[in-house]
Structure 1
Amino acid sequence: MGSQESLKKARTLIESEISKNKVQVFSKTYCPYCKMAKDALKAAGIDYNVMELDNRSDGSAIQDVLKEMTGARSVPRVFINGKCIGGGSETKALQVQGKLVQMVNAS
Protein backbone atom coordinates (compact mmCIF):
# COMPACT_ATOMS: atom_id res chain seq x y z
CA MET A 1 0.00 0.00 0.00
CA GLY A 2 1.41 3.37 -0.97
CA SER A 3 1.91 6.25 1.42
CA GLN A 4 -1.00 8.61 2.02
CA GLU A 5 0.84 11.26 -0.01
CA SER A 6 1.37 8.99 -3.03
CA LEU A 7 -2.26 7.84 -2.87
CA LYS A 8 -3.45 11.45 -2.72
CA LYS A 9 -1.32 12.35 -5.77
CA ALA A 10 -2.61 9.26 -7.61
CA ARG A 11 -6.24 10.20 -6.87
CA THR A 12 -5.68 13.76 -8.13
CA LEU A 13 -4.07 12.41 -11.31
CA ILE A 14 -6.86 9.87 -11.93
CA GLU A 15 -9.61 12.44 -11.37
CA SER A 16 -7.85 14.90 -13.69
CA GLU A 17 -7.45 12.32 -16.50
CA ILE A 18 -11.06 11.13 -16.15
CA SER A 19 -12.43 14.68 -16.23
CA LYS A 20 -10.41 15.87 -19.24
CA ASN A 21 -10.83 12.73 -21.39
CA LYS A 22 -14.20 11.52 -22.60
CA VAL A 23 -12.77 7.99 -22.62
CA GLN A 24 -9.93 7.13 -20.24
CA VAL A 25 -8.31 3.69 -20.03
CA PHE A 26 -6.00 2.63 -17.22
CA SER A 27 -4.02 -0.24 -18.68
CA LYS A 28 -0.84 -2.31 -18.67
CA THR A 29 1.04 -2.87 -21.92
CA TYR A 30 1.26 -6.68 -21.57
CA CYS A 31 -2.27 -7.35 -20.33
CA PRO A 32 -4.55 -9.31 -22.72
CA TYR A 33 -7.74 -7.81 -21.19
CA CYS A 34 -6.31 -4.32 -21.66
CA LYS A 35 -5.66 -5.15 -25.32
CA MET A 36 -9.24 -6.44 -25.57
CA ALA A 37 -10.62 -3.16 -24.21
CA LYS A 38 -8.42 -0.99 -26.46
CA ASP A 39 -9.27 -3.13 -29.52
CA ALA A 40 -13.00 -2.83 -28.72
CA LEU A 41 -12.73 0.97 -28.49
CA LYS A 42 -10.75 1.09 -31.76
CA ALA A 43 -13.30 -1.19 -33.47
CA ALA A 44 -16.07 1.19 -32.37
CA GLY A 45 -14.08 4.13 -33.79
CA ILE A 46 -13.76 5.76 -30.37
CA ASP A 47 -10.83 8.00 -29.50
CA TYR A 48 -9.50 7.32 -26.03
CA ASN A 49 -6.66 8.29 -23.74
CA VAL A 50 -4.62 5.48 -22.22
CA MET A 51 -2.35 5.45 -19.21
CA GLU A 52 -0.04 2.41 -19.17
CA LEU A 53 0.52 1.76 -15.46
CA ASP A 54 3.46 -0.61 -15.96
CA ASN A 55 5.40 2.30 -17.50
CA ARG A 56 4.90 4.52 -14.43
CA SER A 57 6.62 4.54 -11.04
CA ASP A 58 3.25 5.41 -9.40
CA GLY A 59 1.34 2.61 -11.17
CA SER A 60 0.77 0.62 -7.99
CA ALA A 61 -0.60 3.66 -6.10
CA ILE A 62 -2.90 4.40 -9.07
CA GLN A 63 -4.22 0.82 -8.91
CA ASP A 64 -4.81 1.17 -5.15
CA VAL A 65 -6.90 4.30 -5.73
CA LEU A 66 -8.77 2.69 -8.66
CA LYS A 67 -9.73 -0.13 -6.30
CA GLU A 68 -11.18 2.42 -3.85
CA MET A 69 -13.03 4.19 -6.67
CA THR A 70 -14.29 1.21 -8.68
CA GLY A 71 -14.15 -1.81 -6.38
CA ALA A 72 -11.48 -3.53 -8.49
CA ARG A 73 -7.72 -3.12 -8.66
CA SER A 74 -7.39 -5.10 -11.88
CA VAL A 75 -6.74 -3.44 -15.22
CA PRO A 76 -8.07 -2.31 -17.49
CA ARG A 77 -10.33 0.17 -15.81
CA VAL A 78 -12.28 1.95 -18.54
CA PHE A 79 -14.03 5.25 -17.85
CA ILE A 80 -16.54 6.85 -20.22
CA ASN A 81 -17.79 10.35 -19.38
CA GLY A 82 -16.39 10.01 -15.87
CA LYS A 83 -18.06 6.68 -15.09
CA CYS A 84 -16.23 3.35 -14.81
CA ILE A 85 -17.81 0.85 -17.20
CA GLY A 86 -15.56 -2.01 -16.05
CA GLY A 87 -12.71 -3.87 -17.69
CA GLY A 88 -11.87 -5.67 -20.92
CA SER A 89 -14.78 -8.11 -20.99
CA GLU A 90 -17.37 -5.41 -20.24
CA THR A 91 -15.91 -3.01 -22.82
CA LYS A 92 -15.88 -5.76 -25.47
CA ALA A 93 -19.48 -6.77 -24.65
CA LEU A 94 -20.69 -3.15 -24.92
CA GLN A 95 -18.89 -2.80 -28.26
CA VAL A 96 -20.49 -6.01 -29.60
CA GLN A 97 -23.91 -4.74 -28.46
CA GLY A 98 -23.27 -1.41 -30.21
CA LYS A 99 -23.59 0.48 -26.93
CA LEU A 100 -20.08 1.97 -26.60
CA VAL A 101 -20.66 4.76 -29.12
CA GLN A 102 -24.02 5.61 -27.52
CA MET A 103 -22.33 5.87 -24.11
CA VAL A 104 -19.57 8.14 -25.43
CA ASN A 105 -22.08 10.38 -27.20
CA ALA A 106 -24.47 10.50 -24.22
CA SER A 107 -22.82 13.46 -22.52
Structure 2
Amino acid sequence: MERVMKLASQRAVVIFSKSSCCICHTIKTLFSDFGVSPTVYELDEDPRGRELEKALLRLGCNPSVPAVFIGGKLVGGAKEVMTRQLDGSLKELLKRAGALWL
Protein backbone atom coordinates (compact mmCIF):
# COMPACT_ATOMS: atom_id res chain seq x y z
CA MET A 1 0.00 0.00 0.00
CA GLU A 2 2.93 2.30 0.72
CA ARG A 3 4.16 1.97 -2.87
CA VAL A 4 0.72 2.85 -4.27
CA MET A 5 0.50 5.97 -2.11
CA LYS A 6 4.05 7.00 -3.03
CA LEU A 7 3.36 6.61 -6.76
CA ALA A 8 0.00 8.38 -6.42
CA SER A 9 1.55 11.41 -4.73
CA GLN A 10 4.28 12.01 -7.31
CA ARG A 11 2.04 13.64 -9.95
CA ALA A 12 -1.16 15.69 -10.02
CA VAL A 13 -3.16 12.88 -11.65
CA VAL A 14 -2.30 9.20 -11.41
CA ILE A 15 -4.33 6.37 -12.88
CA PHE A 16 -3.77 2.71 -12.12
CA SER A 17 -5.08 0.80 -15.11
CA LYS A 18 -4.89 -2.36 -17.17
CA SER A 19 -4.11 -2.04 -20.85
CA SER A 20 -6.89 -4.46 -21.82
CA CYS A 21 -9.62 -2.73 -19.77
CA CYS A 22 -12.13 -0.76 -21.87
CA ILE A 23 -13.40 1.22 -18.85
CA CYS A 24 -9.80 2.20 -18.03
CA HIS A 25 -9.39 3.39 -21.62
CA THR A 26 -12.54 5.50 -21.29
CA ILE A 27 -11.31 7.16 -18.09
CA LYS A 28 -7.87 7.85 -19.61
CA THR A 29 -9.60 9.37 -22.65
CA LEU A 30 -11.74 11.60 -20.41
CA PHE A 31 -8.64 13.10 -18.80
CA SER A 32 -6.92 13.43 -22.16
CA ASP A 33 -9.96 15.29 -23.53
CA PHE A 34 -9.56 17.78 -20.65
CA GLY A 35 -5.94 18.32 -21.74
CA VAL A 36 -4.66 16.58 -18.62
CA SER A 37 -1.68 14.23 -18.96
CA PRO A 38 -2.03 11.72 -16.14
CA THR A 39 0.68 9.33 -15.14
CA VAL A 40 -0.68 5.89 -15.96
CA TYR A 41 0.52 2.66 -14.39
CA GLU A 42 -0.60 -0.35 -16.42
CA LEU A 43 -0.76 -3.11 -13.81
CA ASP A 44 -0.73 -5.88 -16.40
CA GLU A 45 2.58 -4.55 -17.75
CA ASP A 46 4.27 -3.98 -14.37
CA PRO A 47 6.26 -6.84 -12.83
CA ARG A 48 4.83 -5.84 -9.44
CA GLY A 49 1.35 -5.22 -10.83
CA ARG A 50 -0.32 -7.96 -8.77
CA GLU A 51 1.09 -6.44 -5.60
CA LEU A 52 -0.19 -2.99 -6.59
CA GLU A 53 -3.59 -4.44 -7.47
CA LYS A 54 -3.90 -6.08 -4.04
CA ALA A 55 -3.00 -2.78 -2.38
CA LEU A 56 -5.67 -0.95 -4.41
CA LEU A 57 -8.25 -3.51 -3.30
CA ARG A 58 -7.23 -2.93 0.33
CA LEU A 59 -7.70 0.80 -0.22
CA GLY A 60 -11.29 0.13 -1.23
CA CYS A 61 -10.99 0.11 -5.02
CA ASN A 62 -13.36 -2.60 -6.17
CA PRO A 63 -12.83 -3.34 -8.97
CA SER A 64 -9.15 -2.53 -8.59
CA VAL A 65 -8.92 -0.60 -11.87
CA PRO A 66 -9.30 2.04 -12.94
CA ALA A 67 -8.12 3.69 -9.74
CA VAL A 68 -7.77 7.47 -10.02
CA PHE A 69 -5.77 9.67 -7.68
CA ILE A 70 -5.90 13.46 -7.96
CA GLY A 71 -3.60 15.57 -5.84
CA GLY A 72 -2.36 12.43 -4.11
CA LYS A 73 -5.83 11.49 -2.89
CA LEU A 74 -7.91 8.57 -4.04
CA VAL A 75 -10.92 9.77 -6.03
CA GLY A 76 -12.04 6.23 -6.81
CA GLY A 77 -12.92 4.23 -9.86
CA ALA A 78 -14.89 4.93 -13.00
CA LYS A 79 -18.19 5.43 -11.16
CA GLU A 80 -16.76 8.06 -8.82
CA VAL A 81 -14.88 9.86 -11.59
CA MET A 82 -17.95 9.96 -13.86
CA THR A 83 -20.15 11.14 -10.97
CA ARG A 84 -17.73 14.02 -10.40
CA GLN A 85 -17.66 14.75 -14.13
CA LEU A 86 -21.45 14.92 -14.28
CA ASP A 87 -21.82 17.12 -11.19
CA GLY A 88 -19.01 19.45 -12.33
CA SER A 89 -16.66 18.81 -9.42
CA LEU A 90 -14.01 16.93 -11.45
CA LYS A 91 -12.74 20.11 -13.12
CA GLU A 92 -12.43 21.82 -9.74
CA LEU A 93 -10.42 18.90 -8.33
CA LEU A 94 -8.11 19.04 -11.34
CA LYS A 95 -7.63 22.79 -10.94
CA ARG A 96 -6.81 22.50 -7.23
CA ALA A 97 -4.29 19.76 -7.98
CA GLY A 98 -2.59 21.93 -10.61
CA ALA A 99 -3.47 19.59 -13.47
CA LEU A 100 -5.84 21.99 -15.22
CA TRP A 101 -5.57 25.75 -15.64
CA LEU A 102 -8.89 26.65 -17.26
TM-score range, shorter chain: 0.7 to 0.9
Matched residue, 1:7: none
Unaligned runs of 5+ in 1: 1-10
TM-score (norm 2): 0.81
Q: Residues of 1 paired with 2:66 and 2:56: CA distance?
A: 10
Q: State yes or no: 1:34 paired with 2:24.
A: yes
Unaligned runs of 5+ in 2: 98-102
TM-score (norm 1): 0.78
From 92, 97, 103, the equivalent of 2:82 is 92
Runs of 4+ with deviation above 6 angstroms: none
The 5-angstrom pairing of residues 20-99 of structure 1 reads 20-99=10-89
Q: Residues of 2 paired with 1:43 and 1:94: CA distance?
A: 15
Fraction of identical pairs, as percent: 30
Query: Which structure has the bigger radius of gyration?
Result: 1
Q: Given residue 76 of structure 1, which amino acid in structure 2 is its aligned partner? A: P
- CA contact 1:24–1:78 (8 Å) conserved in 2: yes
Aligned-residue RMSD, C-alpha: 1.8
Q: Residues of 2 paired with 1:19 and 1:56: CA distance?
A: 18
Q: Residues of 2 paired with 1:30 and 1:71: CA distance?
A: 18
Richer in helix (by share): 1
Q: State yes or no: 1:101 paired with 2:91.
A: yes
How many correspondences in the alignment? Answer: 97
Q: Residues of 1 paired with 2:41 and 2:26: CA distance?
A: 15
- CA contact 1:63–1:73 (8 Å) conserved in 2: no
Q: Residues of 2 paired with 1:71 and 1:49: CA distance?
A: 18
